[in-house]
Amino acid sequence: MSQTITWEELAKHNKKGDYWVCIEGNVYNVSNYLAEHPGGDDPLINHSGKDATTAFKDQGHSEYAVSIRNSFLVGKIEDKPNPEKEIKKGGKTPEYTYEDVAKHNTPDDCWIVIHGKIYDPKPFLNEHPGGPTVITNRAGKEASKAFDEVGHTELATKQMKELLVGVIKEGSLPISGEDEGANDKLSLKQVLLLIIGLIIGIVLFYVFNS
């Protein structure tokens, strides 16, 4: 008897070594197929924990590819609307607390909060102009201040709509002691130390070569 997988359960399988995808209502564990995938592992990793039906069809796959995926079958997705699609259609947006968001705090499972909205930027990490660590350093945290300080284009704002997973539940407050700028401050110190080191190096060079 085929196992029924909920959308919530599917979403949990998007971490290193544990990748599930949903294609045409079936859920597949592709963790051990990454190295063999002709298109590389990024397409599978970026769609892990999600419905990958559209991406699978858009890419185009041979009958052989369709046949071997059955060996990775885990079960069928539950007979309920996909929460992500409901968001895009204007349906009810899922609500989460800051404690819920804090559980998604790794590069492989990264949620961030910007002005009360929760985003999963994982599919966009490698495309981010500022590099992925700017985002992953704030995984599981409030990032509104940093987002506003950097400034983003209208295109970036539009792209964010595709990454929306929910909103912060009314009354939920950021976790006490959370300092979203800590990583940036550390980076600034590192840059200053590097500059000082370079200056000292230049001075020593001229001293010993004069």
Q: Is the pTM of this model over 0.85?
A: no
Give the list of residues 6+ apart from residue 116 with CB closer than 8 angstroms, or none: 167, 168
Residue 184: the pLDDT is: 44
Q: Which residues contact 180 (CB under 8 A, 6 or more apart)?
A: 138, 141, 142, 143, 145, 146
Closest by CA position to 115, among listed 148, 72, 139: 148
Q: What is the CA 82 to chain-centroid distance, rounded?
A: 18
CATH superfamily of 3-80: Cytochrome b5-like heme/steroid binding domain (3.10.120.10)
The DSSP bridge partners found for residue 14 are 19
Question: Which residues are within 8 A (CB) of 204 and not within 5 positions of it... i.e. 6 or more apart?
Answer: none
Domain boundaries in the chain? 3-80, 88-184
Residue-level pLDDT at 29: 92
pLDDT at position 8, please? 83
112-114 vs 14-15, strand pairing mode: unpaired
What pLDDT, on the 0 to 100 scale, is given for residue 101? 92
In the prediction, which pLDDT does 189 show? 54
Measured CA to CA, the distance from residue 104 to residue 87 in angstroms comes to 20
What value does the CA radius of gyration of the chain take, rounded to a whole number of Å?
21
According to the model, what pLDDT value does residue 65 have? 74
Identical fold for domains 3-80 and 88-184, yes or no, is: yes
Q: Taking the chain (210 residues) in consecutive chunks of 10 residues, what is each chunk's mean pLDDT?
A: 83 85 91 82 80 77 76 89 63 83 89 89 79 87 82 70 85 66 48 75 72
CATH number at 88-184: 3.10.120.10
For the CA atoms of 95, 97, 103, 108, what is the dihedral angle to 10 degrees? 40
**pLDDT for 190:** 55
Q: Bridge-partner residues for 22, per DSSP?
A: 27, 51
From the list 39, 59, 1, the residue with the least C-alpha distance to 23 is 59
